Amino acid sequence: MNRVSDALGPSARQSAGRALSALGDTRARPNIRWISALTGASFPEIGRILEETEDLVPMEEEIRQHHRLGGRTYYAQFRAPFDIYALVRLLRPAHIIETGVSSGVSSAHFLAALRRNGSGTLHSIDLPVAQRGERFGARDSPVALPPGHESGWAVPDSLRDGWDLRIGPSESLLPRLVKEIGSLGIFLHDSLHTPSHLTFELTTVRSRLTPGAAVLADNTQWTGAAFPRFCASLGVPLARRGRTDLVGLRFPPPAPYGDPHAL
Ligand SMILES: C[S@@+](CC[C@H](N)C(=O)[O-])C[C@H]1O[C@@H](n2cnc3c(N)ncnc32)[C@H](O)[C@@H]1O
């Protein structure tokens, strides 16, 4: 156990642990330093939010069951679902946009947090790729849809009300969507991981970022300088999630929480 997870307290650690085993993804342990860097929230405050993840256990079990029925024990899914749950609970955005849905792990956690907030809309864009045959093969993309399934197929029915899911390339759908919404509180890029595509998505959403908005991008090992360049253009620091290539920024940055465990 490290000193940062000690700071969470036993109750938050147990809740997050149960939710994590129910989902069955060991990479999904929440990173409270990252959540704090993006929200300015204290570790005890984040701990209180993470205690709520106990209530997500049935949803995590359902997602895992959907994945199993879809023929997978492991899915190439978003690695930080509890972090985005906490971000939504702490930032309380009116609008969230995500590009890249696949089975819907990130979508389900955004939707669950919005439900708990009691307000806010998730807008998701996905251009799915289909599995080639009945069985998942070596030549299939790890995010390919199993036969007979659609984008977001693992999202529980109980969360779908009010979900704005749009199917098609973000190249055409994102500019249209951005024109429709007045403000954007959280943006997650998890679609086509190329430098030019990430730059396109970031510049498209930029004008709608509301004060205090968070922007996240996964798999930035493939997108070169696109995200750091965007941070520089906004004059804000890049917040990396541990040693991974999942990164984020807050615009403008929050006052940092005085981490009592900082070296
Ligand atoms: C890494 S997966 C998304 C994972 C998802 N966020 C999760 O939590 O499991 C990437 C998804 O983006 C889709 N995609 C790829 N290029 C796209 C594009 N140009 N526009 C929209 N979606 C795209 C892929 O087909 C795939 O469904």
Domains of the chain in sequence order: 3-251 (3.40.50.150)
Cα of 41 to ligand 1 centre, how many Å? 30
Greatest CA separation for the chain: 53
Please report the pLDDT score of residue 1 as a whole number. Answer: 41
- Residue nearest to ligand 1 atom 11, measured at CA: 100
Residue ranges lining ligand 1, Cβ < 6 Å: 76-78, 99-103, 105-106, 125-129, 143, 169-171, 190-192
Name the residue of 190, 199, 204, 219 whose CB sits within 8 Å of the most ligand 1 atoms, as the mutation to test its pocket. Answer: 190
Q: What is the pTM of this model?
A: 0.95
Closest CA to 206 of 184, 189, 222, 226: 184
Q: Is 88 exposed, middle or buried (CB count within 10 Å of its CB: 0-12, 13-18, 19+)? A: buried
Q: What is the pLDDT of residues 115-140, one digit of tens each?
A: 999 999 999 999 999 888 888 888 88
Q: Residues 141-147: contacts with CB within 8 Å, 24+ apart?
A: 142/75, 142/76, 143/75, 143/76, 143/102, 143/103, 145/102, 146/70, 146/71, 146/72
Residue-wise pLDDT tens for the chain (263 aa)? Answer: 445 566 678 888 899 889 999 999 888 999 999 999 999 999 999 999 999 999 999 999 999 999 988 877 667 789 999 999 999 999 999 999 999 999 999 999 999 999 999 999 999 999 999 888 888 888 888 888 988 999 999 999 999 999 999 999 999 999 999 999 989 999 999 999 999 999 999 999 999 999 999 999 999 999 999 999 999 999 999 999 999 999 999 998 887 776 555 43
In ligand 1, which atom is closest to the CA atom of 129? 25
In ligand 1, which atom is closest to the CA atom of 170? 20
- Residue nearest to ligand 1 atom 3, measured at CA: 100
Please report the pLDDT score of residue 260 as a whole number. Answer: 52
